[in-house]
Copies of this chain bind each other. A is one copy, B any other.
């Protein structure tokens, strides 16, 4: 069998743990909106595409296993998982193929070992109708035995890279990203490096899931991406905080080296990019893909909540690199810069949500 050692080569950037005001659990409304909007699409996909008969023929007992990859600390993961279970039960009741209708569900909540699993496990819904387990490790590697999972889901997680692309921190590379922590559309070499890392990561994710999925099972994932010819809100955000860091270098508050060696390990793909990578990988067919434009554009965030949101997501990465002492200062300055920025009010800045439903070829 495969060792899980691979997983350890992937960097971990946990969301802010606990249940406090600044925790991810309290600052993931945006992701919750995503979960709400995708609810019906996932339900529909399960009703239409899940091959329950094949699935259960290949199972020695009536256990249906679901895994949520990049679950963080909740509560969105509980919401998504419950929707999957409700949909499977609905399908089971609506079909007449003599299946035993008393499935038992086992749900695996996966995230990096550095995730705050204590908070997650203490906040499991009291009335949950499933057996819960937490699975530590990177979804870029193997996490489960072969043919053991019936439905995989991942919401807002696959845009996290397994690591910062090597070239952009290599002083001798043409892609060296000095004085920046992400890229703008002019930085072609940096974009190429990010895009190559993303490709390799998606490839690993798909290869692992192809082995772990039970025949007839499905993979659903929601990933943010950028529509063609639109301004990129994520990029704008990343560059604002990048400018904060450069300011701090100029004021002598942080060493230049420390900033030059830091880059955000996330990549927002173009809206056609993910589709192409899935097709190139060839292990899955795309049963459904939906662009969810409305996801991010219904209301413009206020500065405070936009800042809290980004901090809950990014704090782990910044803390690891800059240390706890600098983090408060960085995010306070970021909030001020954000207030001065106009992009929050500019509707031409767009991010898409893309939902994919995949089946093994």
Contact = CB atoms under 8 A, between A and B. Distances in A.
A284 B133 CA distance: 26
Interface stretch (A108-116, A197-205, A272-280): A108-116
A127 interface: yes
A142 interface: yes
The A interface is mostly helix, strand or loop, or mixed, namely loop
A118 B14 CA distance: 12
A126 interface: yes
Number of copies of this protein chain within its complex: 2
A134 B133 contact: yes
A60 B216 CA distance: 14
Interface in A73-95: none
A247 interface: no
Given A60-B147, A61-B145, A61-B148, A4 B118 contact: no
Interface residues of A, number: 44
A131 B60 contact: no
A104 interface: yes
Contact of A113 (B1, B8, B62, B122): B122
A195 interface: no
Given A5-B126, A121-B136, A134-B134, A147 B61 contact: yes
Contact of A121 (B102, B106, B113, B145): B113
**Residue among A59, A63, A143 facing the most chain B CB atoms (10 A cut-off):** A63
Contacts of A129: 1, 3
Contact of A131 (B134, B145, B147): B145
A251 interface: no
A135 to B, nearest CB: 5
A156 interface: no
Contact of A122 (B114, B132, B135, B143): B114
**Residue among A5, A58, A118, A129 facing the most chain B CB atoms (10 A cut-off):** A118
Contacts of A343: none
B3 A127 contact: yes
9 contacts: A1-B104, A1-B105, A3-B128, A4-B128, A5-B126, A5-B127, A104-B145, A132-B137, A133-B135
